[in-house]
Chains A and B, each alone.
Chain A
């Protein structure tokens, strides 16, 4: 059987399988850095298993939106994950223009989550939904200016092709990649509600963004939400790691090595950032996000005006 056909399905199974491990790994490193023993690395899997077995209870005031939203969220996130390359493996879904589809499948997931949060009828969830919508508004341009600027320079519109068109013969191109990865990192922090923007561990409703939206979900619904948030974190991690694939010199094995080493380094970076920073004030978050957009705009300017 041709191995080329199997690459896509294997890649997507790897992403779905490893995603909770990645989250657990970050939590473990964070615990060690703050001098605690911490939960085991496999804790996210146990959490998922526990929630999977539990019964789902929906709020009385909720409509069918709350029931379909977790499933739509989960499926859509998997579709987005199927567009990402792992090393030189061709992703399952890859065609010209899938960068737009990628952005909007994630947008669809967010849309349903916000809708479901407002559907429940609690004021806390409504507040979380409002915050999520506001910060998504500022996070979207980061994606389009970073990945978009690479797309603009290479003239390609498929995520796989974009990442593999990066050339390393020019020193300013390397700097460009490093700058891009800074803004991709900020994007990952924002979209996955990590520390300087949102605290994933807090359980005080007034300070949360993402966590507050799933406050009234339970059982299987919560399982789907939690699992999709793990996968989402891993998706953005891959977006970041993919900038460094060109260093593998087009070798399949080296591509996988970069993927693994990149994940470990990125999880360590996330853990360090979360340990040494405190959460921003809500009103300071937009300017933090605009900073990442500004980096993207700078990239675009530089490559428009230097030939």
Chain B
């Protein structure tokens, strides 16, 4: 079942690499949040333990409700245009994503021969990390960078579940808090940038001179 959810996670990565709407990114973040919570909750359903439910529930709250709602609020408040500004064509971006995914699946298959790991969640998490970095590299809008960072973080989460079935809960909660704070700070930064520079295009930051 974890494999199936990981495959859906990969599909959401494909979608995020061709969509040209900022809204699409937010939707994908929500879908990924649901998928991750499901992946984490599955081992705890059959002997049922209340301890195991806390983390998925928190994850669901933060990743599906709080963060997307906050990003939506920023989009509304700052009147950000609906389309993302890619620096390369979407078509080439998708090609790059496919090539990366093929390489990652091959590499993780090789790794799985020497160590104990579940190939599909491992490779999906790994791909999400790399694709998150690609999104940060090849998009111009700061809000999309935040989405890229969150996809990267989702990847790390999935990666963690593939390597060790159970991480200590405090660590997991700690990473969640981390993400929330980072998104919060980015929101403040975007607000500041937009009021100071009258826009939020990161290329403008490079042109600043004293």
Chain A residues packing against B (C-beta within 8 Å): 171-172, 175, 179, 284, 286-288, 290-291, 293-295, 297-298, 301-302, 304-306
Q: Which residues of B contact A (CB under 8 A)?
A: 1, 3-4, 7-8, 10-11, 14-15, 18, 89-91, 94-95, 97-98, 101-102, 105, 108-109, 112, 119-120, 123
- Given contacts A291-B18, A297-B98, A305-B109, 8 further A-B pairs with CB under 8 A are A172-B4, A175-B8, A287-B91, A290-B91, A293-B98, A295-B11, A297-B101, A301-B105
Q: Least Cβ distance of B105 to chain A in Å?
A: 4
Nearest-neighbour CB distance to chain B for A287, whole angstroms, equals 4
A298 lies within 8 A of B120 (CB):
no
Given A295-B14, A298-B7, also A305-B98 (CB < 8 A): no
Are A179 and B101 in touch, CB under 8 angstroms? no
- The answer to whether B4 touches A298 (Cβ under 8 A) is no
- Cβ–Cβ < 8 Å partners of A171 in chain B: 1, 4
Residues of A within 8 A of B112 (CB): 305
Contacts of B105 in A (CB 8 A): 301, 304-305
**In whole angstroms, how far apart are the Cα atoms of A172 and B119 in the complex?**
14
Measured in the bound complex, the distance between the Cα atoms of B4 and A290 in whole Å is: 22
Taking A172-B3, A175-B7 as contacts, is the C-beta distance between A294 and B97 under 8 angstroms? yes
B15: A residues at CB distance < 8 A: 291
Q: Which 10 A-B pairs have the closest CB atoms?
A: A287-B91, A301-B105, A305-B109, A175-B4, A287-B90, A294-B14, A305-B119, A287-B18, A290-B94, A294-B98
- Chain A: which residue is nearest B5 at the CB level? A175
CB distance from B79 to the nearest CB of A (A): 24
Q: How far is the CB of A230 from chain B (nearest CB, A)?
A: 31
Q: Which of B91, B95, B98, B120 contacts A306 (CB 8 A)?
A: B120
Q: List 8 A-B contacts (CB under 8 A).
A: A175-B8, A288-B18, A290-B91, A291-B15, A293-B98, A305-B109, A305-B120, A306-B3
CB-nearest residue of chain A to B108? A305
Question: In angstroms, how far is the closest chain B Cβ from the Cβ of A305?
Answer: 5
Secondary structure type dominating chain A contacts: helix
Cβ-defined partner of A301 (8 Å) among B18, B89, B95, B101: B101
With A and B bound together, what is the CA distance between A291 and B16 in angstroms? 11
Given A288-B18, A301-B105, A305-B119, is A294 in contact with B94 using a C-beta cutoff of 8 Å? yes
Residues of B within 8 A of A304 (CB): 105, 109
Query: Which residues of chain B come closer than 8 Å to A295, judged between CB atoms?
Result: 11, 14
Indicate if the CB atoms of B95 and A290 lie closer than 8 Å.
Answer: yes
- The distance from the CB of A72 to the nearest CB of chain B, in whole angstroms, is 33
Partner of B101, one of A172, A287, A298: A298
Q: Is the CB of A179 within 8 A of B7?
A: yes
Once the chains bind, are A298 and B3 in contact (CB under 8 Å)? no
Give the nearest-CB partner of A299 in chain B.
B7
User: Which residues on A sit within 8 Å (CB–CB) of B11?
Assistant: 179, 295, 298
User: In the complex the two chains form, what is the Cα distance from A175 to B105 in whole Å?
Assistant: 19
- Write out the residue numbers on chain B whose beta carbons fall within 8 Å of the beta carbon of A175: 4, 7-8
Give the distance to chain A from B190, nearest Cβ to Cβ, in Å: 28
Q: Distance (Å) between the CB of A283 and the closest chain B CB?
A: 9
**Most chain B beta carbons < 10 A, residue from A286, A290, A295:** A290
Contact at A298–B119, with CB atoms within 8 Å? no
Q: Complex: how many Å from CA A290 to CA B95?
A: 8
Decide if B14 touches A306 in the complex (CB within 8 Å).
Answer: no
Give Cα A288–Cα B15 distance, bound, in whole angstroms: 10
Knowing A175-B4, A306-B119, say if A298 contacts B14 (CB, 8 Å): yes
**Roughly how many angstroms separate A172 CA and B2 CA in the complex, as a whole number?**
10
Q: Which of chain A's residues have a CB closer than 8 A to the CB of B18?
A: 287-288, 290-291
- Complex alpha-carbon distance, A287 and B88, angstroms: 13
The 8 Å CB contact of A297, one of B102, B109, B123, is: B102
Q: Smallest CB–CB gap between A164 and chain B, Å?
A: 23
Min Cβ gap A86→B in Å is 30
Q: What residues on B are CB-neighbors of A293 within 8 Å? A: 98
Q: How far is the CB of A294 from chain B (nearest CB, A)?
A: 5
A294–B127 CA distance with the chains assembled, in angstroms: 14
Chain B residues whose C-beta falls within 8 Å of the C-beta of A294 in the assembled complex: 14, 94, 97-98
CB-CB under 8 A from A179, the residues of chain B are 7, 11
A294 CA to B101 CA, complexed, in Å: 10
Q: Which residues of B contact A288 (CB under 8 A)?
A: 18
Contact among A286, A290, A302 with B7 in the assembled complex (CB-CB below 8 Å): A302
- Set of chain A residues within 8 Å of B91, measured between Cβ atoms: 286-287, 290
Q: Shortest Cβ distance from B19 into chain A, in angstroms?
A: 10
Separation of A125 and B91 alpha carbons in the complex (Å): 27
